[in-house]
Structure 1
Amino acid sequence: MGGGGIDEIHTVSIHLRMDIDPNRLDWNHLRAFMVTAEAQSLSAAARILGLTQPTLSRQVAALEDRLGLLLFERVGRGLALTDAGREVLTHVQPMGHAAHSATIAASAQRSDLTGWVKITASDIMSATLLPAVISAVRKTAPQLQVEVVATNDISDLMRREADIAIRHMRPEEPDLVARMVREAKGYFYANRSYLDRVGRPNTRADMAKMDWVAYGNIDRMVEYMTGLDIPLTPDNFRTSSADGLVAWEMGRAGLGICPMDESVGAAAPEMEALLPETLQVAFPVWLVAHRELHTSPKIRLVFDMLADAIAAR
């Protein structure tokens, strides 16, 4: 991609570049940059925008040349924003959200926004996020019907088991459109009454002496936590459930430590994050749909409203 102005990366924003006329910035180039930043991949962004990859690359390069900044750098098979890219993105995303809102408002006036749209997501996200989003969808398009498939298994969009999926991994299938809409954080929580009884851990080794609640396969959790320098054994897990909501409720009941998305944990004042300054887990939230997204107004409407809700979560 084109670039330049590397010495200015840490200090320059669009609004501070007095030599650039904002009216001469091409919205198509700004949108290409924004979607590429969110998808972290040229090929994925090209699928979202319905462009060829070379065309998308040229649009991003044109914006870099216009701004005199390097916006992306390659990291392995993907792309990462430079400091300048992150700064520019903070200005471009509100424009993108405004465009989404206008598109949603226009789409809602269409007479063909009827029938079912099926969304699949984890049980926790289905319970904590989707009811509010579906309520907004119903107000925007009253004739739409929405089904939620609450499962921790990944439904196969290629077999049309769902129209839209919320996942924590980027899909590999070329016929799917994916957008990373949020980089979420999780912490390890325990009920305050449990901590009052057994004491609060000061180190990760202290956490290995406490009771834990397992989400699903205990051996996998042991392996994962060991990788985080918390040397658990199967004996640490005194309770377990494959259902994330059930496991969380057991943690809230004081039965041990359990991981949770920070947005859910923050809504439970009786739960306390353990070692929050040094122990957190980051995970992406991907919104995925079939290519029909580009031709189905109802799927596009729900997809866009989900993207806005997850990004603001």
Structure 2
Amino acid sequence: MHIRMDWRSVTFDWTRVRAFLVTAEEGSLSAAARALGMSQPTLGRQVEALEAELGVALFERTGRGLRLSPIGHELLEHARAMGDGARALSLAAWGQTEALEGEVAISASDAYAAYLLPPILERLHRAEPRIRIDIVVSNDLSDLSRREADIAVRNVRPTAPDLIARKVRDASARLYAAPEYLDRVGRRGTAAEFSDAEFIEIDDQGSLMHLLNDSGFALTGANFPYRCRNFTVMWEMVRRGMGIGVIDDRIGDNDPHVVRALPGFGPIGFPVWLAAHRDIARSRRLRLVFDALVEGLGP
């Protein structure tokens, strides 16, 4: 016997399903509440309401938090499919608009957001004042499929199949210092002469030290009295004469407060990519902003 279900009788509340999905993916109510921008009690009530609506327990409450129940595991994939469908609907509707107005979110690292994007966005605003730009400052790869941003400036090639990407240039980073710092420690002509110089590390893994040592320096942890994971803060420390730092030469060479610390040292190359969702790229507004970024960040 064939049973036909009338979809009009299905009354799922997507807000509750989303609460379950994000809680399952984040692993706790507190983390899910932060991700959704709501209070933990409100989120908990939504999850409990969905459990009551479905008549099943989606999570097992343990002393250490929440754990998906067997039925929760089974329903999670269906919830993800609903989430993908909701995002696809939103993306399709967003991409169909032809109006050159509205908001565009651009994700970029702190250094690019602070030093390279402003003149590009200023020119764009003069040309199209009805477009509003939301700058998402992040050194992580934003999930464009989930609309954390519409366009992302990245230093690695995006591989997700639902994204389009364009390499806008091969960039170069160099070592910079304030002139007064170099005057204080003495100007050096080779990498080996920097054994007692002070540098500002950029992450917890000692990436700058390892990179420089692979290029002829002989540095140890003693050469790095400061570590800063924010490039704009690191750059301000360099400008104040606190040590030597590395940054994109478009930023460093245009800053009158610094000079190249070792002019003969070869550049550190890295790519600059722009990425956007394939569906979003059909929007005139998004294409205009995307093209403005290509022109502004390109060679």
Shorter-normalised TM range:
0.5 to 0.7
* CA distance in 1 between partners of 2:148 and 2:195 (Å): 40
Alignment-derived partner of residue 122 in structure 1: 109
* CA offsets 1:5-51 (integer angstroms, 9 cap, x no match): xxxxxxxxxxxxxxxxxxxxxxxxxxxxxxxxxxxxxxxxxxxxxxx
* CA distance in 2 between partners of 1:235 and 1:287 (Å): 37
Alignment-derived partner of residue 226 in structure 2: 239
Q: Secondary structure at the match of 1:201?
A: coil
* CA offsets 1:35-79 (integer angstroms, 9 cap, x no match): xxxxxxxxxxxxxxxxxxxxxxxxxxxxxxxxxxxxxxxxxxxxx
**Equivalent residues in 2 for 1:247-262 (5 A)?**
247-262=234-249
**1:299 counterpart = 2:286:** yes
Q: Secondary structure at the match of 1:259?
A: strand
Within the candidate set 170, 175, 178, 1:191 is matched to: 178
Contact 1:118 1:146 in 2 (8 A): yes
* CA distance in 2 between partners of 1:168 and 1:276 (Å): 24
Within the candidate set 173, 190, 196, 2:160 is matched to: 173
Q: Secondary structure at the match of 2:192?
A: helix
**Equivalent residues in 2 for 1:88-237 (5 A)?**
112-217=99-204, 219-237=206-224
Q: Which runs of 5+ in 1 are unaligned?
A: 1-109
Compute the RMSD of aligned alpha carbons: 1.7
Which 4+ residue blocks in structure 1 deviate beyond 6 angstroms? none
TM-aligned CA deviation for residue 252 of structure 1:
0.9
Alignment-derived partner of residue 67 in structure 1: none
Contact 2:100 2:130 in 1 (8 A): yes
Contact 2:199 2:225 in 1 (8 A): yes
AA at the equivalent of 1:178: A
* CA offsets 1:218-276 (integer angstroms, 9 cap, x no match): 52332222222222222111122111011011011111110111111122223121332
TM-score (norm 1): 0.61
* CA distance in 2 between partners of 1:270 and 1:142 (Å): 33
Q: Secondary structure at the match of 2:225?
A: strand
* CA distance in 2 between partners of 1:296 and 1:255 (Å): 46
Contact 1:218 1:234 in 2 (8 A): no
**Equivalent residues in 2 for 1:18-37 (5 A)?**
none
How much identity, in percent, do the aligned residues show? 39
* CA distance in 2 between partners of 1:267 and 1:181 (Å): 20
TM-score (norm 2): 0.64
Q: Which runs of 5+ in 2 are unaligned?
A: 1-96
* CA distance in 2 between partners of 1:235 and 1:126 (Å): 31
* CA distance in 2 between partners of 1:305 and 1:270 (Å): 29
Q: Rg: which structure is higher? A: 2
